[in-house]
Amino acid sequence: MPAGLETSAAPPLYVQVQLFKSGEHGYHTYRIPALAASKKGRLLAFVEGRKSGRSDTGDIDVLLRRSFDNGKTWTEAQVVADHGDDTIGNPCPVVDAGTRTIWLLLTGNPGKTNETQILDDAGQGTRTVWVTHSNDDGATWAAPIEITSSVKEKNWTWYATGPGNGIQLESGRLLVPCDHARQGSHKIYSHVIYSDDHGRTWRIGGTVGEDTDECQVVELQDGTLLVNMRSNHGKNRRALSRSRDGGLSWSPIEFDETLIEPVCQASFIRYTRKGKSATRSRLLFSNPAGVKRV
């Protein structure tokens, strides 16, 4: 290298920060993360805290850590929802840009009832749906309110919100991806729920075809909704469907050959750069790079 010339290393593409470590703070396992950004730019990282083990049932709470500096530092964890010895989880936040309220959709069930029992209608109870909200960027939260009767059909057994994120459409509608099963079957269906009154009430939207599952939704620039779904079809490819009526109905399922599927949840968001190229959007997708879960 010529004398007087110096080189500097390029900044890392990303920095990894561990927010929740299993075995700490009274929780055996942390799973099912969700990340949201408030209108003030605060980052909110939600997670399930599982007290008794890795199982999807038991004493499970929802915790939150917040960042005020784009993820460099984080607040101590706070409990957002705790149903005692029962399960409350599957956090799915959605931010209302108009009111700046952060809504958090959750699902729960009795702690001694597992998914198979719920699917078979053989447990001590079934899945229930809850919503809480924060008007101060996540510092405090309202007591969760049950909305099961508004967003779950009577013949549905299993139910899950998200996990991941909801979105707000250009129309102002708040939309949350979900999935469910029906009595007499273990088949899972993706669906959405929505609110047209800034989160005060919630309704059931359209259902996609069978053998779909956990999902995420984006709104394309032309207003079409694209849902990206965990697929139980045995094809090891992500399932896709579109809606042109705000999520009230969905097109037949398609499979994207470029998006491999180990049969688990994935992240799927629309990112639009600010500034002169603000009209140039990108769809960002992330999931495990393989067709097997382990």
190 inside domain: yes
Q: Given this model, what pLDDT does residue 167 score?
A: 99
Q: What is the predicted pLDDT for the residue at 200?
A: 98
pLDDT at 13: 81
> How far, in Å, CA of 142 to CA of 140, rounded?
7
What gap in Å lies between CA 183 and CA 116, rounded to an integer? 12
Number of domains in the chain: 1
The parent domain of residue 210 ranges over 85-286
Q: Confidence class of residue 279 from pLDDT cuts 50, 70 and 90?
A: low
258, part of any domain = yes
CB atoms within 10 A of CB 99: 13
In a domain? residue 247 = yes
Is residue 145 one of the residues assigned to a domain?
yes
Q: Cis before residue 163, ω within 30 degrees of 0?
A: yes
181: CATH:
2.120.10.10
Band (pLDDT 50/70/90 cuts) for residue 202 is very high
Q: Look over the chain and give the mean of its residue pLDDT values, rounded to a whole number.
A: 95
Query: Which residue stretches of 147-220 are H helix?
Result: 148-151
Q: Quick check: helix, strand or coil at residue 257?
A: strand
CB 128 within 8 A of CB 108: yes
> Rounded to two decimals, what is the model's pTM?
0.94
CA distance 41 to 43: 6
In this prediction, residues 262-273 reach a mean pLDDT of 93
**In-domain check, residue 73:** no
3 assigned to some structural domain: no
60, part of any domain: no
In a domain, 69, yes or no: no
Q: Which amino acid is at 15?
A: V
The CA-based dihedral angle spanning residues 54, 57, 58, 63, taken in that order and rounded to the nearest 10 degrees = 70
The string of pLDDT tens digits covering residues 73-132 is 999 999 999 999 999 999 999 999 999 999 999 999 999 999 999 999 887 889 999 999
Burial grade of 72 (CB within 10 A; 0-12, 13-18, 19 or more): exposed
pLDDT in tens, 146-157: 999 999 999 999
